[in-house]
Amino acid sequence: MQAAWLLGALVVPQLLGFGHGARGAEREWEGGWGGAQEEEREREALMLKHLQEALGLPAGRGDENPARTVEGKEDWEMEEDQGEEEEEEATPTPSSGPSPSNQKPSPRKPRAAHDPCLSAVGRLAGLDAGLHQLHVRLHALDTRVVELTQGLRQLRDAAGDTRDAVQALQVAQGRAEREHGRLEGCLKGLRLGHKCFLLSRDFETQAAAQARCTARGGSLAQPADRQQMEALTRYLRAALATYNWPVWLGVHDRRAEGLYLFENGQRVSFFAWHRAPRPELGAQPSAAPHPLSPDQPNGGTLENCVAQASDDGSWWDHDCQRRLYYVCEFPF
């Protein structure tokens, strides 16, 4: 055990000091070479001094440039040797390295020069990375736009479906209102054959009254014959007695003066125009018209719509914009 310990104590220091020994031998060799150069410089300086004395030149003249040149050269060589030694010392030498004869000093690495091409390549790489990020964001934005477009299309389709549903509801509501008006007219009004009459106590123009009757499923009253006219007269007299209220009928001559038509476009076949009262027997007839009840129609182009008096059922022509009661007619 002691013999092994002694053997390790002898071998390990030798291995660790191998590199240092090699470096020391190299330095001794360089020191010997440096001493020989120093002796050579001294001999040259002495010979130069003797030559200056023989020529009569003052000391220190003529040897500045050669000496400085030699000294500068030697200094440069010494600085280079020192730099190489420092690099060798800075580089760790393993214990199992090559022998001093095979070891070569590492060459000095030149500094990397500033290359504009490398700078331009770096900038282009940065621009390429920025463009890549921009493309990623544009792709995300395009995806979002596509999603929004699809959502907008779905909303438009839903709005179209809702519009169709609303229109269907409006049609159904109109149909229900017309059916309700028809039933109300026949239940509350006068039923006569295949039609019913219902008085409305709202003041409307002739066109507005026709629109109201149409919305309720009918039209303004259109007595087709004298029998219907007499039944309508009794209904109005009973509803509005003891007053005389004119009510709109569905009769007019708006298309042509003197051509009276019903609202459905059929031509009127009979009339019940109001006539002024006749003078009593034995009285002298008067050529002047009655001031309060002249013969009808007398309005010309200014009065193109027909209303029926509620007391005697006679027809009067009136201005179509006048607001009167009206009678609606519903099919049964």
- Residue-number span of the structural domain to which 209 is assigned: 189-276+293-331
Whether the pLDDT of residue 190 is over 80: the answer is yes
Identify whether 209 is part of a domain.
Answer: yes
As a whole-number percent, the residues of the chain with pLDDT over 90 amount to 40
Of residues 330 and 84, more confidence is placed in 330
Alpha-carbon span 228 to 236, nearest angstrom: 12
Residue with tokens 């809702």: 162
Whether 18 contacts 99, CB under 8 Å? no
Could you tell me where the DSSP H helices lie in 189-262? 206-215, 226-240
Using one digit for the tens of pLDDT, what is the confidence trace for 218-263?
Answer: 999 999 888 999 999 999 999 998 888 999 999 999 999 989 999 9
Identify whether 215 is part of a domain.
Answer: yes
Mean pLDDT on 194-214: 94
Alpha-carbon span 127 to 119, nearest angstrom: 12
Q: How far is CA 290 from the centre of its chain?
A: 77
**222-227-229-234 Cα dihedral, nearest 10 degrees:** -130
The CATH number of the domain holding residue 250 is: 3.10.100.10
Using one digit for the tens of pLDDT, what is the confidence trace for 278-319?
Answer: 666 555 555 445 555 688 888 888 999 999 999 889 999 999
Q: Give the CA distances from residue 47 to residues 44, 54, 74, 254, in Å, rounded to whole numbers and listed in that order.
A: 5, 11, 19, 151
Q: Which residues pair with 308 in a beta bridge?
A: 247, 315
Identify whether 72 is part of a domain.
Answer: no
Alpha-carbon span 108 to 110, nearest angstrom: 6
Q: Which of 31-35, 115-119, 180-184 comes out lowest in average pLDDT?
A: 31-35
Whether the pLDDT of residue 193 is over 90: the answer is no
Whether the pLDDT of residue 22 is over 80: the answer is no
Q: Which of 18-27, 123-132, 145-154, 248-257 comes out lowest in average pLDDT?
A: 18-27
Whether the pLDDT of residue 58 is over 80: the answer is no
Whether 207 contacts 254, CB under 8 Å? no
Mean pLDDT on 90-115: 50
Identify whether 305 is part of a domain.
Answer: yes
Identify whether 201 is part of a domain.
Answer: yes
Number of domains in the chain: 1
Identify whether 126 is part of a domain.
Answer: no
Amino acid code (one letter) for 242: T
Q: Give the CA distances from residue 35 to residues 17, 23, 295, in Å, rounded to whole numbers and listed in that order.
A: 26, 18, 162
Identify whether 74 is part of a domain.
Answer: no
Alpha-carbon span 2 to 292, nearest angstrom: 162
Amino acid code (one letter) for 215: A
Identify whether 165 is part of a domain.
Answer: no
